[in-house]
Structure 1
Amino acid sequence: MVGLQGTLGRWLPAGRPGWLWGAAALLALGALFGGAWGWAGRRAARRRRRRLQRVGTVLRLVVYPVKSCRGVAVGQAQVTPMGLRSGDLRDRFWLVTREDGHMVTARQEPRLVLITVYCENGHLILEAPDMKELYLPIKLPKKNPVKTCRVFGQDIQGRDCGDEVAQWLTNFLNSEPYRLVHFEPSMVPRKSKDVINLFRTTDEVAYPDCSPVLMISEASLEDLNTRLEKKVKMENFRPNILVTDCGPFEEDTWKDILIGDVELKGTVCCARCILTTVNPDTGILDRKEPLETLKSYRLCDPSERHIYKSSPLFGRYFAVDKTGTIRVGDPVYKMVQS
């Protein structure tokens, strides 16, 4: 305050009444802080203008540590800029590759969906029918080489997980030699925008197809199953967030979503491929259903064919605007500008 009085002293002639000092002090404080307060006030006002409309409830949260292997259902998860995280398990941070680094998914090796993955005492544990459990340290030795991998036409690094898990995967799949790699936080992510141009330059992923979060409603699955002779499961579609208490395909219209303290931005719908025809219980690739039925009623509008081509749509991709924690049972709100 001494410094402020000294400054005001240059503005006010000596002998002015005390109330002028008070008025001048208020004017000075307004000049100093008014800009910041005004900005904060405008920002708060913008947030207040967003009306919350409840559109559903989180029914299930799933992290898929190894791309194309079984997911891990969790009661709560951190939502990071690059997807869901539960402890050491991060969504699609491990990837099966050929020896030349090209990714391998259940499109090429359907039996990958039979591999169960979980985490215990700093280890990733793999289980599969007629196979001994394999324990893999999550923090790999630095002597393990970093490889350049190829995921949907993009280069991305991964640290090789070693010969033991490579042999385990090769034996189980009864295939050519395969490797497992792990994406580490110091590595450079892939840009979602390089896969689908409608993403923002800030949206990034490790080994997911293109988006940090995939959301589907329970009602959409129920709608599909009314049209199928043989019902399918949500595991055919591998969402991170399953939502209930809404109508079929309402998720397609959600743009700005609030769950817990997490804000998500809807980007594009998920264009479906033959991976949906892999039976998650048997690992057998059907190549027909549910894809053919989806094509009968879930093709995009002709104006969007440059995005989705002839693929049917099921589920919606979301980018992360604000990180935080979400839980099963959390209400899902659509943020609407008032």
Structure 2
Amino acid sequence: MAPPELSPSRVAWLCVAGAALALGVAAAWRRRRQRHAARSLVQVGTVSGLYIYPVKSCRRVSVDDAAVTEMGLCKGDMGDRFWLVIREDGHMVTARQEPRLVLISVACENGNLILNAPEMKELSIPVKLPGGNPVKNCRVFGLDIEGRDCGNDVASWLTAYFNSGPCRLVHFETQMTPRKCKMIKSPFRTKDKIPYNDCGPLLIISEASVEDLNTRMEKKIDMRNFRPSITVSGCSAYEEDTWDKVVIGDVELKWVMACDRCILTTVDPDTGIIDRKEPLETLKSYRMCDPSQKHIYKSAPLFGSFYGVDHIGTIKKGDPVYKIIDG
């Protein structure tokens, strides 16, 4: 059957619409070209590691590539800090309260979250939970946030592992409302948001920073103590604190604030024993904030930097890290 003939007025309308669309695309392209022309990119390092922490305070998962969302790194079913251990009253449980959380290894396979811990049988639970599972109101650093209960099997598993009172596991689902970073730490922007992270979507630390810290310590410390999202090689120590805007792959990030450190850094990632002293005492000897910033950082030493996400995309190990220099 022959296609219906278009009236002259219809043809004219389509021509005008097509021209308008082409002009719009051209204008957007010109604006983008002008924006990029007004700045230059200088390579400052290379991505040496990408890490996701699916369950808050549990072991990291190293990945070769990841999507960068507004709420941090994501790989398949693994969102960063998308699961949280809570007490029955909804208050969070982290390695500050239960240091042996750092010994729980996490994986996501075939739509399941898989947990392993010393002297515990492997446990597998579905990532996509039944709609009948209750949604809990949780409390994370003074802010309320929802999480769907992961069921009695994992609750019994966690309770037996800690042997210190009933615990449950909850999952943040994408339709739930994330926490606003600005309500946790004032330097964050209005658009910065997270599920169960401490306060920011991305934490960047250079390998050189850890190397410099270790020159000052009797017992060497591990990058795992600091739980970064992205590690960078090929730059000088603490240079990550100076990059106002960076480009990695097609992702653009904005420096927000340094990371103020707490006793979680003193938990040994291999034994789950909390020291409460190092590396904090060494960091306090040389990594304190300027007095004018004490209202932000108080008495905590600084190590690593938080970045907000300006443009989502994908990144991979080996990607160059560029600093944006505005013209």
State the percentage of identical aligned residues: 64
Per the alignment, residue 207 of structure 1 pairs with 196
| CA separation of 1:36 and 1:330: change in aligned 2, threshold 3 A | closer
Q: CA deviation at 1:156?
A: 0.2
> 1:158 aligned to 2:147?
yes
Question: SS where residue 286 of structure 1 aligns?
Answer: coil
Question: SS where residue 51 of structure 1 aligns?
Answer: strand
**Which residue of 34, 44, 61 maps to 1:55?**
44
> 1:253 aligned to 2:214?
no
| CA separation of 1:44 and 1:127: change in aligned 2, threshold 3 A | same
**Which residue of 115, 127, 140 maps to 1:126?**
115
| CA separation of 1:122 and 1:336: change in aligned 2, threshold 3 A | same
- Where in structure 2 are there 5+ consecutive unaligned residues? 1-7, 13-17
2:158 counterpart letter in structure 1: L
| CA separation of 1:133 and 1:45: change in aligned 2, threshold 3 A | same
Query: Structure 2-normalised TM-score?
Result: 0.92
Question: For each residue in 1:304-333, what CA deviation from the matched residue of structure 2 results, as whole angstroms up to 9, or x when unmatched?
Answer: 111101100000001111111110100000
Q: Work out which of the two has the higher radius of gyration on C-alpha atoms and give 1 or 2.
A: 1
**Which residue of 206, 217, 222 maps to 1:233?**
222
Q: How many Å separate the matches in 1 of 2:60 and 2:19?
A: 55
Query: Structure 1-normalised TM-score?
Result: 0.89
Q: Which runs of 4+ in 1 moved over 3 A?
A: 29-40
Per the alignment, residue 311 of structure 2 pairs with 322
- Where in structure 1 are there 5+ consecutive unaligned residues? 7-28
Q: How many Å separate the matches in 2 of 1:290 and 1:175?
A: 27
| CA separation of 1:102 and 1:52: change in aligned 2, threshold 3 A | same
Q: How many Å separate the matches in 1 of 2:323 and 2:216?
A: 29
Q: CA deviation at 1:41?
A: 2.3
Q: How many Å separate the matches in 1 of 2:106 and 2:25?
A: 49
Question: For each residue in 1:55-98, what CA deviation from the matched residue of structure 2 results, as whole angstroms up to 9, or x when unmatched?
Answer: 00000100000000000000100111111011111100000001
Q: CA deviation at 1:210?
A: 1.2
Q: How many Å separate the matches in 2 of 1:123 and 1:33?
A: 46
Per the alignment, residue 80 of structure 2 pairs with 91
> 1:219 aligned to 2:171?
no
Q: How many Å separate the matches in 1 of 2:39 and 2:136?
A: 45
Q: CA deviation at 1:288?
A: 0.2
Q: CA deviation at 1:37?
A: 5.0
Per the alignment, residue 287 of structure 2 pairs with 298
2:92 counterpart letter in structure 1: M
Aligned residues: 316
RMSD of aligned Cα (Å): 2.1
Per the alignment, residue 252 of structure 2 pairs with 263
| CA separation of 1:34 and 1:73: change in aligned 2, threshold 3 A | closer
